[in-house]
Amino acid sequence: MRILLGVAIVAALAYLFVVALLFAGQRRFLFPANAERTSAAAAGLADMEDVAITTEDGERLVAWWKPPRPGRALVVYFHGNGGSLWNRRDRARLLTEGGRGLLMVSYRGYSGSTGSPSEAGLRQDAMAAYRFVSGYEPRRLVLHGESLGTALAIWLASQKPVGGIILDAPFTSIADVAQPLFRFVPVGLLLRDTFRSIDRIAEIRSPLLVMHGEEDGVIPIALADRLFAAAREPKRFLRLPGIDHVGVLESGGMAAVGRFLGEVESGLEAGENRPISRGG
C-alpha cells in the first residue's frame, strides 16, 4: 500500500507540474509570434505602403496598406497566430487584384509591432485597424479573418458595422480546439485567452462567408459547422475537400471570396470612394 501510495503521490505531483507548465507557457503556445519585420516593398508588394497604427493603449502596429479604387471593397485582414506579414504576401496580392483595397495589420508582438499578444490586446489592435479605415463607409469594409484572426473579425463585426465578413478556418473557442490535444487537462479552467467566437457570432448581421478545409488537422471542420449553425443569415459555407488548414484561400477559396466581394461592391457607386482619415 505504501508503494502504491507513493506512486500515486509522484504521479499527482508530475501531473500538477505539467499543468503548471502549460498554464505558465500557454501564451507562448497560442501566440508563436515572428517578430521579424518585412516592408511591403521587400515582400514584392510595390503597390502597397507600410503604415504604423497606434492603439488606444499606446502600442505601435506595423501594417501594409493599399486604398481601394472607386467602387471597390476594402478588406481588413486579420492573420493567424503563427508567422508574420511576410507569410501573407501572396494573399495580399490576391486580395488586392482589380483595385480592391487592403489593410493587413500585424498584431502586437508580430512583424515589428510593439507589445505582447493577448486576447484583450489583440482586440485593441482590431479596433485600431477599424479606426484607421473609418474614413470609408462601413458597407465598403469587409473583415477577413484567418484562423485565430477569425475570432477578431467576429468580435469586431459584433461591435462595429461592416459590409461583410469572411472567415477562413474559424473555430468556436480556443478551449474546443485545445481540449482534444490535452485530454487529461481542464483546458477551459486554465485559459487566459478564450476567444469564444461561439458567444458572439449570432450578433453579426452582415453577410457572412465561411471557408474551411475538410482535412484541417489543426481546427476540425466540425467546429466551423457549429459556428456556422449559430450564425444569422445571410450566410454561406464553402467546404473544400482534401484541403488542410493553411491552403483554403489558395486552393479554391479565392473564387468564393471574389464573388463575395463582388456582391459587396454591387451596392457601391463609383463616386463613393472617400479619402482615408490617417489619424490611426
Report the predicted TM-score, pTM, of the whole model to 2 decimal places.
Answer: 0.90
Q: Which CATH class is domain 38-270?
A: alpha beta
Give the per-residue pLDDT at 186: 75
Question: E-strand spans in 67-109?
Answer: 74-78, 101-105
Q: Could you say which residues of the chain have pLDDT below 70?
A: 1-25, 269-280
DSSP for 172-216, please give it: S-HHHHHGGGSTTS-HHHH-S----GGGTGGG--S-EEEEEETT-
Judge contact between 105 and 78, C-beta under 8 A. Answer: yes
User: What was the pLDDT predicted at 5?
Assistant: 62
User: Which residues carry out catalysis?
Assistant: 147, 216, 245
Provide the 10 A C-beta neighbour count for residue 217: 8
All structural domains of the chain with their residue ranges: 1-30, 38-270
The pLDDT of residue 27: 85
Apex 117 CA angle, 164 and 253, nearest 5: 35
Cα torsion 169, 170, 174, 179 to 10°: value is: -60
Contact criterion met (CB below 8 Å) for 127 and 159: yes
